[in-house]
Amino acid sequence: MTTSSVFSDTNCQCPSVAIVPTVLERLAAIEQTYAVRILYACESGSRAWGFASPDSDYDVRFIYAHPRDWYLRIDLEYCRDVIECPIEDVLDINGWDFRKALQLMRKSNPPLFEWLYSPMVYRAQPGFQEAMQALTPACYSFPACAWHYLHMARGNNREHLQGEQVRLKKYLYVLRPLLAVQWLESGRGIVPMLFRTLVETLVAPGPLRDAIEQLLIWKQSGDELAWGPRIPVLNDWIAAELARLASGPALGPTVKPDLEWLNTVFRTWLIDESPTRE
């Protein structure tokens, strides 16, 4: 039994009515093809962050588990622990094995936390999302997450925002991670999924806020933003933030959670029987 699709935040860009049955069909087909059980499936990326264009892809991400006996093998470290489906029209569907997900959680992997706090959940085993979120306080490392977001901002800025003509949507992929670093540095807890929450909390009214709002209007009202002239107020703020963070985020080290605790959670969600293939 799985819970039905839940789109919990009124500010998120919920998927079209037509796409949800298609996503659920693809997930069911994956279970049959790979003989796995999907524990959780959600939307990630721009739609979950709240700044998708009408023609943005659906970035469906899921966590799956094999039957218990599958993990009892001497060559487990050589077995594939991801399922990657070919992109089909607007559907980009990929998943991680549960063991891999818990290993990444212990390393405080930000994308995994974003999946678990997505406002757009396609399906989940009852209690799974809550059980994983219960691990978050012990596993969520502010420094590790801040460094991840900083590297993302540096890379996107270097690759996409240096010329007089830039890919306008790439501003959002620099602004969001830089605001995420600020959020973590200020001790506010887990970075929220919605970009608007970051903006409304951290960016005071003024030219910067106005430029961001205009960018969101452009992004959400039409096709994927293409090339355009650079936006000086955004470039100036980005440059100042990257200079401030030249030596890294202002955060101290944290301790990794107990491994046996994660082992217990892992065993709890495994089942003995193997899903049947059609």
Q: What is the pLDDT averaged over residues 143-158?
A: 97
CB 72 within 8 A of CB 37: no
Residue 270 has what pLDDT? Answer: 96
* 6-139+257-268 is a CATH 3.10.20.740 domain: no
Residue 2 has what pLDDT? Answer: 66
Q: What is the pLDDT averaged over residues 21-25?
A: 96
Q: How confident is the model at residue 278 (pLDDT cuts 50, 70, 90)?
A: very low
Q: Which residue has the higher pLDDT, 13 or 268?
A: 268
Is pLDDT at 13 greater than 90 in this prediction?
Answer: no
Q: In this structure, which amino acid lies at residue 85? A: C
Residue 267 has what pLDDT? Answer: 96
Q: What confidence tens digit (pLDDT) does each residue in 200-247 have?
A: 999 999 999 999 999 999 888 865 567 889 999 999 999 999 999 999
Give me Rg for the CA atoms of the chain: 20
Q: Which residue has the higher pLDDT, 54 or 181?
A: 181
Q: What angle do CA 23, 139, 117 make, to 5 degrees?
A: 30
Q: Is 90 helix (H, G, I), strand (E, B) or coil?
A: coil
In 73-231, which ranges are continuous DSSP H helix?
98-106, 110-116, 128-139, 142-160, 172-185, 195-202, 207-221
C-alpha to C-alpha distance for 28 and 25, rounded to whole angstroms: 5
In 50-127, which ranges are continuous DSSP H helix?
98-106, 110-116
Residue 205 has what pLDDT? Answer: 97
Q: What are the sequence ranges of the domains in the chain?
A: 6-139+257-268, 142-244
Q: What is the pLDDT averaged over residues 148-162?
A: 97
Q: What is the pLDDT averaged over residues 81-102?
A: 96
CA distances to 2, 20, 35, 75 from 66, in Å: 16, 25, 7, 15
Residue position matching structure tokens 């006996």: 69
Beta strands in 66-155 (DSSP E): 82-84, 91-97, 120-124
Is pLDDT at 273 greater than 80 in this prediction?
Answer: no
